[in-house]
Amino acid sequence: MTRRRHPKPEIHAIVFAQHEHCVTELIVELSHAVIGATGYVHAGNIEFRANVSDHSAESFGRRVAFSNVCGAELDEMRAAVRKIERIRSRMMKDDKALGEAPNFAEFARRALVAAGVTMVHVARDLAGRPRNAAHHIVVSTANGGDVLDAIGRLEKIALTMFGKRVEAA
């Protein structure tokens, strides 16, 4: 008896900034990206995050994380760890070939490509998660320049609002 796998769902990402309790984070959230061995799509999200602070003129603390509000089960955690390890190994190959990512936009672009994301929804402002089509810009990961521009724009807004201000003397 063979198991019939369902086709993998197309992975989309949402990019937004979150400001809570004097902490600002840039977040790329991949929903429905954790898929089990039998093709079951788990509820957890894989996230790429970076911090913005009034102590730094650049975003920092870039990381890949797994988030599940409901509480993850063991199978979901295993699938998430495997997916994150594949993403990190592909990103490490890019880092060796191209050097370390100079900013969060490039880090996010590399992570999105490594994760197999096809479309990215980037918030137009710092109002949090985009609520409808008027609040986000849609770009395809096939065009890396557009992804860099859209995420870089959001990163620049976050740094202007909450980052260390660097004025000419």
Closest among 48, 35, 138, 140 to 90, alpha carbons compared: 48
- pLDDT, tens digit (0-9, with 9 covering 90-100), for 84-105: 999 999 999 999 999 999 999 9
Comparing 133 with 168, the larger pLDDT belongs to 133
Averaged over 95-118, what is the pLDDT?
93
Distances, alpha carbon 106 to alpha carbons 41, 85, 141, in Å: 28, 19, 12
Residue pLDDT, tens place only, 54-64? 888 888 889 88
**Which residues are CB-contacts of 48 (< 8 A; sequence separation ≥ 6)?**
27, 28, 62, 63, 64, 65, 107, 108, 111, 112
Q: What is the pLDDT of residue 1?
A: 44
For residue range 17-53, what is the model confidence (pLDDT) as tens digits?
Answer: 988 887 889 999 988 777 777 777 777 788 999 999 8
Please tell me whether the overall predicted TM-score, pTM, comes out greater than 0.75 for this model: yes
Per residue in 121-163, pLDDT (tens digit) is: 999 988 888 888 788 999 999 998 999 999 999 999 999 888 8
Specify the pLDDT at position 48. Answer: 92
Predicted local distance difference test score (pLDDT) of residue 6:
60
> Binning pLDDT at 50, 70 and 90, where does residue 8 land?
low
Output the pLDDT for position 112: 94
Which of residues 88 and 66 earns the better pLDDT score? 88
